[in-house]
Amino acid sequence: NVDATALLQNNACLSCHALDHKVVGPAYHQVATKYANDPQAMTKVAASIQQGGSGKWGQTPMPPYAQLSAENLQTLAAFILAQ
């Protein structure tokens, strides 16, 4: 079982995201706040990581991380939503 910190480092997440302030993409705290009352939050955040995308937070695209396992996607989504 890989922890979220290792996944963040190994996948260069922190080159575009920080916990508490916008870098290239939104702070994880902003993501957690946006989805705080959404019962589908885990699914939506995991899908955004896996598929990438743009337009939710501005024009800068996020690349897809399709190589991540379902377990790793859930680990990251849970970590992000806990911020």
pLDDT for the residue numbered 2: 78
> To which residue do tokens 């800068």 refer?
60
Question: Tens of pLDDT along 44-70?
Answer: 999 999 999 999 999 999 999 999 999
Of 12, 36, 34, 14, nearest to 23 (Cα)? 14
Share of the chain above pLDDT 70, in %: 99
With bands split at pLDDT 50, 70 and 90, how would you rate the model's confidence at 21?
Answer: very high
* pTM: predicted TM-score of the whole model, two decimal places: 0.94
| Residue-averaged pLDDT of the chain | 96
Q: Does residue 72 register a pLDDT over 90? A: yes
Label residue 75 exposed, middle or buried (CB < 10 Å: 0-12, 13-18, 19+): buried
